[in-house]
Amino acid sequence: MARRTLPILKNLTHRSTPGPFLPKPDPNTRSVTYMPRPGDGAPRPVTLIPGDGIGPLVTNAVEQVMEAMHAPVYFERYDVHGDLKRVPPEVIESIRKNKVCLKGGLKTPVGGGVSSLNVQLRKELDLYASLVNCFNLPGLPTRHENVDIVVIRENTEGEYSGLEHEVVPGVVESLKVITKFCSERIAKYAFEYAYLNNRKKVTAVHKANIMKLADGLFLESCREIATKYPSIKYNEIIVDNCCMQLVSKPEQFDVMVTPNLYGNLVANTAAGIAGGTGVMPGGNVGADHAVFEQGASAGNVGNEKLWEQKKANPVALLLSSAMMLRHLQFPSFADRLETAVKRVISEGKYRTKDLGGVSTTQEVVDAVIANLD
């Protein structure tokens, strides 16, 4: 199917700017209509995990906006916190049933014997692809312009395999696992994403000059998949050079595909360049399920001051919710939500502290609701 015939998969942001001799698009002009199948308008259940710290604040913001839009979704709420040893079985069952989940940040204890519930969710549901969209928002000044990067990260193996043990006292061994199966499917997802979203280039991030077998296998898999997409440019970059290039010329990157750990570092770096973690949407997807959350690491998830002052930035999760609505094939609701958020950011009157403002979470939410078409 030609990519131009897939309006429901259009990119999260418009990537081209009209030239001086072209008329600017009229925002009030509808595109060719989306034709739903009979029954597609039925409300869809979504598992909701408010999470820790600011999580309940920002997930509540999404609930308010969805209600104001009369969006065809309803939430099944589960209270899960990062200090639990396991994700409760009823939560996993809810996500399996609903296929879609929206979550706030879950705080992961540093050190000790408690494993990350975020990693547990990804492995239990085989959410093998993490996607973070880092882009400039109109009206939000940043050091670099024309940034529009999608970081696609393998989510289930690598350094996050959790295979660690103490060989002898004072010596710990941690295994990095890379498989051809997982490398090929994440590469295929990255190229498929690029194809369906009219992206032009996929860059594989690696450290194969040192980890010749593990990262070498990852690169080999990416190269094989790249041959099946001749219309998409493919290149490779060593992860340390990648970080330097990101902070100096981020506009050169389009879609980036990475092993697990590198993707975490690259996505957070790209998010900081494009406006901060508070505005970058993202999600995790597998063959059958998807979990949408703030795109880059929620470093402020445990910020008690933000929670007490009710000044957490809800923009990232609101935009992640727009991604979720597109995933559920509700494109007009996604467009309305995304447009309203961008208007609020562009006007600049209501912004939280991380964006240079003084607004509370609720004030931003009220402004978004007021700007809904």
In a domain, 1, yes or no: no
In a domain, 32, yes or no: no
Residue 170's pLDDT is what?
94
Residue 89's pLDDT is what?
95
Percent of the chain with pLDDT over 70: 88
Whole-number CA gyration radius for the chain: 20
**pLDDT for residue 12 is more than 70:** no
Residue 112's pLDDT is what?
57
Residue 300's pLDDT is what?
59
**pLDDT for residue 16 is more than 60:** no
Helices (H), 53-115: 55-69, 89-98
Secondary structure class of 23 (helix, strand, coil): coil
In a domain, 4, yes or no: no
pLDDT band of 164, cuts 50, 70, 90: confident
List the CATH number of the domain containing 199: 3.40.718.10
From 155-164, 208-217, 351-360, the region with the lowest mean pLDDT: 155-164
155 and 112 within one domain: no
Percent of the chain with pLDDT over 90: 73
Last residue in a domain, options 274, 297, 313: 274
Q: How many residues comprise the chain?
A: 373
CA angle 208, 209, 211 (to 5 degrees): 50
In a domain, 279, yes or no: no
Q: Determine the Cα–Cα distance for residues 273 and 3; give it in Å rounded to an integer.
A: 29
311 and 206 within one domain: no
In a domain, 31, yes or no: no
301 and 270 within one domain: no
Last residue in a domain, options 245, 274, 303: 274
For residue 102 the two structure tokens come to: 């929206």
**pLDDT for residue 23 is more than 70:** no
225 and 295 within one domain: no
> Which amino acid would we find at residue 100?
V
Q: Which residue has the higher pLDDT, 131 or 109?
A: 131
In a domain, 27, yes or no: no
Burial track 308-332 (b if 16+ CB lie within 10 A, e otherwise): eeebbbbbbbbbbbbbbbbbbebbb
**pLDDT for residue 113 is more than 60:** no
The 10s digit of each residue's pLDDT in 117-137 is 888 999 999 999 999 999 999
User: Burial of 212 by CB count in 10 Å (0-12 exposed, 13-18 middle, 19+ buried)?
Assistant: exposed
270 and 147 within one domain: yes
In a domain, 235, yes or no: yes
| Count of domains forming the chain | 2
223 and 305 within one domain: no
Q: Determine the Cα–Cα distance for residues 6 and 10; give it in Å rounded to an integer.
A: 7
In a domain, 344, yes or no: yes
Q: Which domain holds residue 313?
A: 40-128+287-372
Q: What average pLDDT does range 207-224 have in this prediction? A: 96
The 10s digit of each residue's pLDDT in 53-107 is 889 999 999 999 999 999 999 999 999 988 888 999 999 999 999 999 999 988 8
Last residue in a domain, options 240, 274, 308: 274
186 and 76 within one domain: no
Q: What average pLDDT does range 321-336 have in this prediction? A: 95
- Cβ pair 232, 129 in contact under 8 A: no
269 and 180 within one domain: yes
Q: Which residue has the higher pLDDT, 358 or 373?
A: 358
- Which of 315, 259, 324 has its CA nearest to residue 290? 324
Q: Which residue has the higher pLDDT, 150 or 301?
A: 150
